[in-house]
Amino acid sequence: MRFDPPLEEGRLLRRYKRFLADIETAAGETLTIHCPNTGSMLNCMAEGGRVWFSRSNDPKRKLPSTWELSETPQGRLACVNTARANALVEEALRAGVIAELAGFAGLRREVRYGVENSRADFRLDYAEGVAFVEVKSVTLGFPGTPVAAFPDARTERGSKHLRELAALARQGVRAVQLYCVNLAGARAVRPAQEIDPHYAAALREALAAGVEVLAYGAELSPQEIRLARRLEVLL
């Protein structure tokens, strides 16, 4: 996924009200930009740290600029725009990068399924049946380790999705939890037990039920992001 034009650089002044951030651009302009991330963004931003943002020409937008990348306190790049994850995964699926999910004949997004009014990020159609895929964007890292973690805040929605996937797997339907690790330098991913033990337990239960758990890491720059390699999942 290429950024066209390339992202602009700035410095973070503050993030507030969850969806707003004030930055100072390289030209010295102060902007309020949209922060498209509902999580805590733990360990992936710092006041005064470098950020990269995109601009939109849509006159209907209240805030024309969107926060896309952040330099973490450890000096790594992280894609904080969680809306990018599904597009990255679709691009990788269609290019055959995710080998475990290759060979599908059809791809649909936002498909209703389950008993808890859920929508699967992807439904893949194969000759032998279908696969439902849930995607989670991962940006949480810690100093001194290449292991990323999910989630960065408690997530009942994430646990619900795991329950739905587990129910499918018990019925013999292929179900996949895919972590899109949008943090440079990550070599593995794990559940953040210390932040949300209920989610970590739900993940273990889903795995026991037959849910496939995959993780792929992104290569990031202000010019492009792409999923490039499979990562180990530590359970």
Residue 1 belongs to some domain of the structure? no
- Print the domain residue range for 223: 84-233
Where are the extended beta strands (E) located within the chain?
8-16, 20-25, 30-34, 50-55, 65-71, 77-79, 106-113, 118-126, 129-138, 147-150, 174-181, 188-191, 212-220, 225-230, 232-233
Over residues 14-23, the mean pLDDT reads 96
Residue 45: predicted pLDDT: 93
3-state secondary structure of 5: coil
State whether 42 and 91 are in the same domain: no
The token pair that represents 165 in the structure block = 């996937």
Q: What is the pLDDT of residues 127-151, one digit of tens each?
A: 999 999 999 999 999 999 999 999 9
State whether 146 and 222 are in the same domain: yes
Residue 2 belongs to some domain of the structure? no
State whether 75 and 101 are in the same domain: no
Q: How far apart are CA 19 and CA 191, in angstroms?
A: 25
**Residue type for position 225:** I
Residue 164: predicted pLDDT: 97
Residue 182: predicted pLDDT: 98
State whether 94 and 117 are in the same domain: yes
Over residues 59-68, the mean pLDDT reads 94
State whether 32 and 134 are in the same domain: no
Task: Give the number of domains in the chain.
Answer: 2
* CATH number of the domain to which 31 belongs: 2.40.50.580
Residue with tokens 């696969």: 131
Over residues 208-219, the mean pLDDT reads 98
Q: How far apart are CA 40 and CA 29, in angstroms?
A: 26
Residue 3 belongs to some domain of the structure? no
Residue 116 belongs to some domain of the structure? yes
Q: What is the pLDDT of residues 89-121, one digit of tens each?
A: 999 999 999 999 999 999 999 999 999 989 999
Considering 60, 79, 98, which residue would you say is the last residue of a domain? 79
